[in-house]
Amino acid sequence: MPESDNLDKGAGTLLIVDDDAISRTILAALFEGDYRIVEAQDGAACLDAIEREGDAVVALLLDVMMPGIDGLEVLKRLAPTGFLTRTPVFLITAERTAKVMEEAYRLGVMDVIVKPIIPFVVTRRVRSVIELFESRKRLSSTVEDQRQQLLERAERIIELNVGMIEALSTAIEFRDGESGDHVRRIHDITHLVLSETPFGQGYAAEDIDDIALAAIMHDVGKIAIPDAILCKPGRLTREEFEVMKSHTVQGAELLERIPQMRSMGAYRYAVDIARHHHERWDGRGYPDGLAGDEISVPAQVVSLADVYDALTNKRVYKAAFTREESLRMIADGECGAFNPELLSCFFAVEPQIAALYQAPAADSAHKPEGDAVSAPHMTTPPVN
């Protein structure tokens, strides 16, 4: 299989396939100054050459009438591989019948060169089509590079936004006397309940990621609560508690005032969670007194996650309860009423939730006490 030497080592390969050596020589002479020439004398050798040369082939000049595998059969075998969409194929034939030409075009050839070969016609047609295909490849490559750059830029923006959300939420936790681990645990608990139990049925994985991210911002409204109330070590007065309760409304309004938030998938969940994560199933929560299914699924899950984490960890106003005692208080409705279906799902995965607190990075002071235990007997929590 002769190959031409070419000064430009980066030149593409022009594959010439013809059982007539003279025809191959004539065609090779027309293009050897511009391309690396590879010749094949039949269809089998052509297929071998394409497999060997791969994407280096910039054009295929293919004879129709050859012993063994003819030109049309070669096209039929190449069609499923996508080769004909990437590389222009010129059919060389002495057959002028409409049937041959129609079949050739149907299979994907770019042009038909009829023998005897007219040099200046062939060179102009072949070179023009090769340049068109190469330009298309460069354009496609440029578009793909730009698409990849846009994706990378979008990912960096998302990472920056998430980082800012985490920083803001953690800063609020520090102001509240917490370590900042609280918001990360709420994120993880929310994600686990929605992804591992039937309570998250209907939410796509991307939605669950957005809800868990939104959960980080559940207490963002505490930024508006005075330090004297937010950090008070003792029990709040009735008036102070009313101010503290306002962090739900303040948080929702704050998020609505950040234009950049609206472009994030988590936004539609964040405002709702910030406002409603203290609502209760029996309607005795705040700020809107929502009851039952009036409370969104994300807000319900974050509400329960927040209570569980608050019970099992030390706060400025209380010591940590043991894990067993925390589960009993939740089941008995001592922290307000929750959706019985949610409670059932929560207790089913609570051992996995407890394991989150055992991670090496977790502060030992924030780990729920007690080994893995079964959930308390489930009953509908009493009205608080």
Cα(272)–Cα(216) distance, integer angstroms: 13
What local confidence, expressed as pLDDT, does residue 233 receive?
81
| Mean pLDDT estimate for the chain | 83
Cα(262)–Cα(70) distance, integer angstroms: 61
What local confidence, expressed as pLDDT, does residue 152 receive?
67
Of 33-47, 88-102, 296-310, minimum mean pLDDT range: 88-102
Q: Where are the domains of the chain?
A: 13-145, 176-366
- Residue 129 vs residues 89, 136, 202, 349: alpha-carbon distances, Å: 10, 11, 51, 63
Query: Residue 361 — pLDDT band, cuts 50, 70, 90?
Result: very low
Query: pTM here?
Result: 0.56
What local confidence, expressed as pLDDT, does residue 155 receive?
62
What region does 267 belong to: left with phi over 0, alpha with psi -120 to 50, or beta?
Answer: alpha
What local confidence, expressed as pLDDT, does residue 371 receive?
39
Of 34-38, 192-196, 259-263, minimum mean pLDDT range: 259-263
Q: Is the pLDDT of residue 320 over 90?
A: no
Name the DSSP class of 38: E
Cα(105)–Cα(90) distance, integer angstroms: 10
Specify whether the CB–CB gap between 2 and 39 falls below 8 A.
Answer: yes
In the numeric block, which tokens belong to residue 366? Answer: 């924030």
Nearest to 221 by CA among 284, 153, 175, 187: 175
Of 148-162, 172-186, 238-252, minimum mean pLDDT range: 148-162
Cα(35)–Cα(16) distance, integer angstroms: 11
Distance from first CA to last CA of the chain, Å, rounded?
A: 90
Q: Is 4 helix (H, G, I), strand (E, B) or coil?
A: coil
Of 82-91, 132-141, 235-244, minimum mean pLDDT range: 132-141
Query: Residue 40 — pLDDT band, cuts 50, 70, 90?
Result: very high
123 against 199, higher pLDDT: 199
What local confidence, expressed as pLDDT, does residue 379 receive?
31
Cα(208)–Cα(195) distance, integer angstroms: 7
Annotation: CATH topology of 13-145: Rossmann fold (3.40.50)
Query: Residue 180 — pLDDT band, cuts 50, 70, 90?
Result: low
Q: Is the pLDDT of residue 378 over 80?
A: no
Q: Is 91 helix (H, G, I), strand (E, B) or coil?
A: strand
What local confidence, expressed as pLDDT, does residue 167 receive?
61
| pLDDT digit string, tens, across residues 100-131 | 788 888 888 888 888 888 888 888 888 888 88
| pLDDT digit string, tens, across residues 282-295 | 999 999 999 999 99
Q: Is the pLDDT of residue 173 over 80?
A: no
Q: Is the pLDDT of residue 164 over 90?
A: no
Q: Is the pLDDT of residue 358 over 80?
A: no
Q: Is 17 helix (H, G, I), strand (E, B) or coil?
A: strand
Q: Is the pLDDT of residue 264 over 90?
A: no
Phi–psi pair at 229, nearest 5 degrees: -90, -45
What local confidence, expressed as pLDDT, does residue 342 receive?
97
What local confidence, expressed as pLDDT, does residue 266 receive?
84
Does the domain formed by 176-366 have CATH 1.10.3210.10?
A: yes
Query: Residue 34 — pLDDT band, cuts 50, 70, 90?
Result: confident
